[in-house]
A and B are shown apart, each in its own frame.
Chain A
Amino acid sequence: MATAELVLGLLHNGPAHGYDVKRGHDAWFPDSRPLAFGQVYTTLSRLERDNLVEVVDRGSEGGPERTVYGLTEQGRAHLADWLAEPIQPALGAVDEMVRKVVATIHTGEDATAFLARQRASHLRRIRELRAASTDSDDDTPARLARDFVAVHLDADLRWLDGALDRITELKETRR
């Protein structure tokens, strides 16, 4: 979870309070879990220690809520590097669905019913995401996030189809 770099990104347009950082994050990713305040301030102090952000204004009361943070030159450079680096594809991470399908093969349970239920579940989720996109005003970053989820759900379903075909084939050749 690249929270540190995200916070740098949220400060890109100018210095802000910790509260504004949290609000910005939640606006960017409306479907994800909201960012906790504690996490925001911990991240900000870590970044300050690493010299990637600096305190721009202490605030009259002196508490952390009133402190205004801004990016340092180093912080900007770090952010640029992070944005330029491509994501390494996750290897070896075995999803819940894979576990279920493998278990289905070994226990000899009916895979067709599972496929039907899983398809219904995934397709409904895609519909919900689509409905959310049409409800809100066109906020492209939010939309992109939803599209990402939808496309991955599609990929799950396609994998599932292929997996079940393989199982059927295997059963038939063994018979």
Chain B
Amino acid sequence: MTDLALELLRVEYAYRRDVALRGVSLKVRPGEVVAITGPSGCGKSTLLHCAAGILRPQAGTVQLAGQNLADLSEAVRTRLRRTQAGVVLQFGQLVPDLTLIDNVALPLLLEGHDRAGARRAAMEWLDRVGVGEDATAVPGELSGGQNQRAAVARALVTGPAIVFADEPTGSLDSLAGEQMMELLLASVHNGGAALVLVTHDNLVAAYADREVRLRDGAVQHEVALS
């Protein structure tokens, strides 16, 4: 039982014939911000999906919040993912049929909370990320920036140990992107969570304490930035 938020050991993954990861190892300490960079196709997103437990690696181990994912049953793994890992994607992750507040409350409802409590917590988070006024709107009625803020709220509402962000500013212009990164960092620090940022944008990578650069599915280098 380590106190690392995330540990990957020699993880390998291939999509049918396309090898995406060749033995990648990574350690993330609690509260740390790590940027995973590299050219497109280097395996960054695959690494994130393996780390978040969305994909099962063909070799190697993934330890999330101290627990080896392979040892767990599907149900326990899902619960662990839901409570310990938050995910923010580039776009399109909110359910278009539900209002923002219902979207953010969803993880709590899945955890078994009662509706009133879940909505209360969701509203608090929506206020914190600055879209409290739009709580009763559906994603289709709002801008990309507003939706991304709600996505951050949804990722953090269960108080996870680690947040995975895959190109979170990819669909936003530079000013909105900067605001998004500041919000993400502030929210993550508030909750004491670690942040793993997958990005090809150097300006986004500069927000991290450490950069891990991938190339062709392997780690090219690791440098400390703080």
Structural contact, B39 and A161, CB atoms closer than 8 A? yes
Report the number of A-B residue pairs with Cβ-Cβ less than 8 Å: 47
B76 within 8 A of A: no
Tell which of B201, B206, B213, B221 touches A127, judged by Cβ atoms closer than 8 Å. Answer: B206
Stretch at the interface among A1-9, A31-39, A47-55, A150-158: A150-158
| Chain A residues with CB under 8 A of B224 | 120
Structural contact, A123 and B206, CB atoms closer than 8 A? yes
B226 within 8 A of A: yes
A94 within 8 A of B: no
Q: Is the interface of B mostly helix, strand, loop or mixed?
A: mixed
Minimum distance in angstroms from A159 CB to a CB of chain B: 11
Beyond A119-B211, A127-B226, is A112–B202 a contact (Cβ under 8 Å)?
Answer: no
| Chain B residues with CB under 8 A of A113 | 221
Structural contact, B225 and A158, CB atoms closer than 8 A? no
B205 within 8 A of A: yes
A115 within 8 A of B: yes
Structural contact, A120 and B211, CB atoms closer than 8 A? yes
Tell which of A116, A117, A154 touches B202, judged by Cβ atoms closer than 8 Å. Answer: A154
A44 within 8 A of B: no
Q: A113-B221, A127-B207 given; name 7 further pairs at CB < 8 Å.
A: A112-B221, A116-B213, A119-B213, A120-B211, A123-B223, A123-B225, A161-B39
